[in-house]
């Protein structure tokens, strides 16, 4: 991702209100614009007055660049529907603070907009944050029309007690709200494929009084095919066979498998029918499946024209919203979605404001969806979907009260096991890899590791600075055993990176970047729960950002490896053995901190 340079720093409100005003005029809501802008300000105050930083402390999951709000426009007939989705920002970057911020918005909605929160109160205790690894806790949205009153809804996180508890959370929530039979319908979906391929990711409630007030359950589908999506969506009353396949083929060329980012399905239930969903919606993360926004625009033009959707309305909206040439980035069109409303197609565009970052245009070849993933792509996807943060030690670290001595022991062992010799070991692999394309990517990563030529910015030096900043966290008693996990990992790393077959070292490098991203985000959250001054933690904040790009490069590396059984097996062996070594490393730290 390219960080946007902002010579004149803006607040979230200043940046968002300009986009929102342009959307209001383009959507034919000029008369309501002052009222809508005032509503936006009241719902996002006071956090929207904060100056936008390139890398925020809280990584909001609403947008790819972590902006804590998103605009969307639904096209159905001649009158667009404008929506605002936002995450109330807490005073501290942790789930408890964000939960309290969300509850304050709830109270504002009751006091000012007279919404009905009875159903939320019935399930509030289920969604109280208990797993600090969860990506969000409470979001809100408002739907706006030119000639109707606004409607509100909120989003809750089924994974708030951990991914493994998401199904139980959904089941209990539906039972309490009177949708007892709905769980059986949804359980059939999540049981159709291997464990982990389909997961409950969002639960939303309409905050209104009518019989048509919905509950919606969202599922994330990893590595889904259009055929599978057809099967999933067919449980909804409004579904028309063939819709999913046609939509996927129109939005993404050569669609066979959605592996870049999972597609999401959503099912709505209304009071009086808890067996059959009243509607099913397909959410496609188009930003990850198109080279740039101009290509997305062209695909939408074709689809709107074919289905007699309001093309002129779409053109007005995207021209008003975009503040850069569409071909110069990928991400304004974040999602496109399809559902049937009274048997008519309803297309929704989810528009990212790109307050923090702009994704550069992608290589056209990189966005094509493979007919079937290669064996090495499957390895990368497996380790992406099965995060190292599921390890019992990291789970305990996140779920319990922050423990600085345990963090110190963990990082001291990371220093000894990985950081001290990482650059030298990676350089050893680079020198012996005979494929220049692979060598280029690894060399770029090594250049980042070595501070882009600035010795004071090398990651090893910055890590030493970090350890100095947290010296007071050091346990009272330190022995040789304190560093045993790091020494054992270091010995393994030396062997795998110097293996005579450099492709074994390449497999290790691929997994290290994936696990590094997951580890850095987890540890970053823990640091933000402490009182340590983040300016002294530059290694961590910089690594959080760099590892996102490096981990993405792992899939590219997997695709570059020649289709040779010998090379594939070497990379697989290096990857799997490295993952085992990292698991053993965390086992050792767990023993030190929580069992000894």
Range of the domain at 286: 2-358
Q: Is the pLDDT of residue 463 over 80?
A: yes
Residue 118 and residue 251 share a domain: yes
Could you tell me what percent of the chain has a pLDDT over 90?
59
Q: Tell me, what's the pLDDT at 160?
A: 93
Mean pLDDT of the chain: 87
What pLDDT digit, counting tens, does each position of 181-233 carry? Answer: 999 889 888 667 766 789 999 999 999 877 788 999 999 998 899 999 999 99
Average pLDDT, stretch 446-462?
87
Q: Tell me, what's the pLDDT at 541?
A: 57
pLDDT band at 284; cut points 50, 70, 90: very high
Displacement of CA 88 from its chain's centroid (Å): 17
Average pLDDT, stretch 278-287?
95
Residue 530 and residue 392 share a domain: yes
In a domain, 367, yes or no: no
CA distances in angstroms from 342 to 209, 291, 345, listed in the order given: 22, 34, 8
How many whole angstroms separate alpha carbon 400 and alpha carbon 388? Answer: 18
pLDDT band at 5; cut points 50, 70, 90: very low
Q: Tell me, what's the pLDDT at 2?
A: 33
CA distances in angstroms from 106 to 138, 141, 292, listed in the order given: 10, 11, 37
Q: Are 237 and 279 in contact (CB under 8 A)?
A: yes
Q: Are 356 and 389 in contact (CB under 8 A)?
A: no
In a domain, 368, yes or no: no
Half-sphere exposure at residue 3, Cβ-oriented, CA atoms within 13 angstroms: 12
- Final residue belonging to a domain, choices 358, 390, 412: 358
In a domain, 111, yes or no: yes
pLDDT band at 151; cut points 50, 70, 90: very high
pTM for the structure as a whole? 0.67
How many whole angstroms separate alpha carbon 141 and alpha carbon 87? Answer: 9
Q: Is the pLDDT of residue 4 over 60?
A: no
Report phi then psi at 6, rounded to 5: -120, 100
- Which range, 181-195, 288-302, 457-471, has the best average confidence (pLDDT)? 288-302
Residue 353 and residue 380 share a domain: no
Please list the helix, strand and coil fractions of the chain in percent, rounded to the nearest 5, in that order: 55, 15, 30
In a domain, 588, yes or no: yes
Residue 477 and residue 339 share a domain: no
C-beta contacts of 562-566 below 8 A and 24+ residues apart: 562/435, 563/374
- At 341 the three-state DSSP class reads strand
CATH code (residue 403)? 1.20.910.10
Q: Is the pLDDT of residue 262 over 80?
A: yes
**How many distinct structural domains can be found in the chain?**
2
Q: Is the pLDDT of residue 530 over 90?
A: no
Q: Tell me, what's the pLDDT at 6?
A: 39
How far the first Cα of the chain sits from its last, in Å, is: 43
The tokens for 425 are 């070991």
Q: Is the pLDDT of residue 99 over 50?
A: yes
Q: Tell me, what's the pLDDT at 543?
A: 52
In a domain, 171, yes or no: yes
In a domain, 333, yes or no: yes
- Final residue belonging to a domain, choices 334, 358, 382: 358
Residue 354 and residue 431 share a domain: no
Residue 497 and residue 455 share a domain: yes
- Final residue belonging to a domain, choices 358, 381, 404: 358
In a domain, 365, yes or no: no
Average pLDDT, stretch 67-90?
92
Q: Is the pLDDT of residue 302 over 90?
A: yes
Residue 172 and residue 134 share a domain: yes
**Residue linked to tokens 């002129």:** 312
Residue 553 and residue 509 share a domain: yes
What pLDDT digit, counting tens, does each position of 18-53 carry? Answer: 999 999 999 999 999 999 999 999 999 878 888 886
pLDDT band at 134; cut points 50, 70, 90: confident
Per residue in 11-39, is it b (16+ CB within 10 Å) or e — as a string? Answer: bbbebbbebbbbbbebbbbeebbeebbeb
In a domain, 364, yes or no: no
Q: Which of 90-104, 119-133, 368-382 has the lowest mean pLDDT?
A: 368-382
Taking alpha carbons only, the member of 251, 225, 523 closest to residue 371 is 225
Residue 389 and residue 240 share a domain: no
Q: Tell me, what's the pLDDT at 355?
A: 87
Taking alpha carbons only, the member of 195, 587, 167 closest to residue 391 is 587
Q: Is the pLDDT of residue 534 over 60?
A: no
Residue 324 and residue 192 share a domain: yes
Residue 329 and residue 254 share a domain: yes
Residue 277 and residue 195 share a domain: yes
What pLDDT digit, counting tens, does each position of 361-415 carry? Answer: 876 554 544 445 678 888 887 787 778 888 888 888 877 888 899 999 999 999 9
Q: Are 235 and 280 in contact (CB under 8 A)?
A: yes
pLDDT band at 272; cut points 50, 70, 90: confident
Beta-strand pair 344-351/198-206: unpaired
């Amino acid at each position: 991702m390219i960080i946007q340079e902002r010579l004149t720093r803006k607040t979230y409100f200043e940046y968002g209100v300009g986009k929102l005003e342009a959307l209001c005029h383009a959507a034919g809501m000029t008369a309501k614009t002052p009222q809508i802008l005032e509503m936006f300000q009241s719902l996002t105050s006071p956090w929207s007055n904060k100056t936008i930083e390139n890398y925020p402390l809280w990584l909001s999951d609403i947008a790819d660049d972590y902006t804590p709000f998103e605009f969307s426009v639904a096209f159905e007939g001649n009158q667009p529907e404008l929506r605002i989705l936002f995450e109330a920002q807490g005073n501290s970057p942790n789930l408890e603070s964000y939960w309290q911020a969300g509850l304050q918005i709830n109270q504002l909605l009751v006091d000012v907009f007279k919404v009905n929160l009875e159903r939320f109160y019935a399930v509030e205790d289920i969604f109280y944050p208990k797993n600090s690894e969860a990506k969000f806790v409470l979001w809100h949205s408002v739907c706006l029309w030119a000639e109707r009153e606004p409607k509100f809804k909120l989003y809750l996180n089924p994974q708030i007690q951990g991914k493994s508890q998401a199904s139980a959370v959904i089941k209990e929530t539906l039972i309490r709200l009177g949708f007892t039979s709905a769980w059986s319908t949804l359980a059939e979906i999540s049981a159709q494929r291997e464990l982990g391929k389909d997961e409950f990711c969002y639960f939303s409630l309409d905050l209104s009084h009518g019989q048509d007030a919905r509950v919606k359950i969202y599922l994330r589908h990893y590595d889904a095919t259009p055929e599978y999506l057809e099967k999933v969506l067919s449980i909804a009353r409004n579904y028309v066979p063939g819709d999913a396949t046609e939509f996927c083929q129109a939005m993404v060329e050569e669609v066979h498998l959605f592996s870049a980012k999972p597609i999401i399905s959503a099912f709505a239930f209304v009071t009086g029918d808890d067996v059959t969903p009243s509607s099913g919606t397909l959410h496609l993360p188009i930003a990850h499946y198109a080279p740039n926004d101009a290509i997305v625009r062209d695909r939408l033009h074709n689809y709107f024209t074919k289905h007699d959707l309001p093309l002129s309305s779409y053109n007005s909206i995207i021209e008003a919203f975009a503040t850069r040439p569409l071909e110069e980035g990928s991400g304004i069109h974040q999602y496109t979605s399809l559902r049937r409303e009274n048997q008519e197609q309803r297309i929704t565009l989810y528009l990212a404001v790109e307050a923090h970052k702009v994704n550069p245009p992608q290589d056209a070849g990189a966005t094509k969806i493979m007919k079937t993933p290669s064996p090495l792509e499957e390895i990368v996807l497996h380790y992406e979907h099965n995060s190292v943060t599921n390890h019992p030690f990291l789970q305990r670290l996140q779920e319990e009260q922050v423990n600085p001595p345990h963090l110190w022991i963990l990082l001291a062992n990371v220093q000894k096991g990985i950081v001290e010799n990482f650059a030298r070991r990676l350089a050893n692999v680079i020198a012996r890899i005979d494929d220049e394309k692979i060598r280029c990517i690894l060399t770029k990563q090594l250049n980042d590791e070595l501070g882009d030529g600035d010795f004071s910015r090398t990651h090893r030096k910055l890590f030493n600075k970090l350890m100095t900043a947290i010296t007071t966290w050091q346990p009272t008693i330190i022995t040789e055993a304190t560093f045993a996990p790091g020494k054992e990992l270091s010995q393994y790393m030396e062997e795998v990176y110097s293996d005579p077959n450099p492709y074994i070292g390449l497999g290790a490098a691929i997994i290290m970047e994936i696990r590094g991203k997951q580890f850095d985000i987890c540890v970053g959250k823990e640091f933000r729960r402490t009182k340590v001054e983040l300016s002294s933690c530059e290694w961590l904040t910089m690594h959080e950002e760099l590892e996102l790009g490096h981990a993405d490069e792992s899939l590219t590396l997997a695709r570059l490896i020649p289709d040779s059984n010998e090379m594939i097996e070497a990379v697989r062996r290096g990857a799997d053995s490295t993952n085992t070594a990292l698991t053993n490393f965390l086992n050792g730290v767990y023993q030190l901190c929580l069992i000894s």
